[in-house]
Amino acid sequence: MTAAPAATPPWTILRPHRIRWAECDLYGHVNHAAYLTLFEDMRIAHWEALTGLPVSPDRPGPVVAQIEARYLRAAGFGDEVTLAIRPVSFRRTSLVHDYAMLKDGEPCCTARIVLVVTRQDSGEKVPLWPELRERLKAEGAVEG
């Protein structure tokens, strides 16, 4: 007998967004780089919610180590979309996020991003502290 797959955790943050012309290409479709910028805004919002502090060069923070994006269907100028983020997993100094841009509840683009927490002055990796690990677990992330 095969075990049922684990349920996908809910999105931690959902944010409505209206596609701006500056986010589009010549054809009025969202430019591929704009997805990553929108996901970056979500990443910063999530980090600040997790730590209770604004991002600052004086504190450790998340740095992108790897991005995998999948473009599924077009979104365009003026579209009302929802941006979504959820933590998936974490290790000693890193964490993984899933992202999505949803239009009418269906994904237009999804991404998985691996982040490494570093000191901003030296680039040295910083272990995730116990409170941060507990908050990630509370949001559905798994260790490992």
The yes-or-no verdict on residue 104 having pLDDT over 70 is: yes
Share of the chain above pLDDT 70, in %: 95
Structure confidence by residue, pLDDT tens digits, 107-141? 999 999 999 999 988 999 999 999 999 999 999 99
pLDDT in tens, 29-65: 999 999 999 999 999 999 999 999 999 999 999 999 9
pTM score: 0.89
Contact 81, 75 (CB under 8 A): yes
pLDDT-derived band at 78, boundaries 50, 70, 90: very high
Q: Which of 51, 69, 41, 49 is nearest to 117 (CA)?
A: 51
Q: What is the C-alpha to C-alpha distance for residues 129 and 115, in angstroms, rounded to an integer?
A: 15
Q: Which residues pair with 84 in a beta bridge?
A: 14, 100
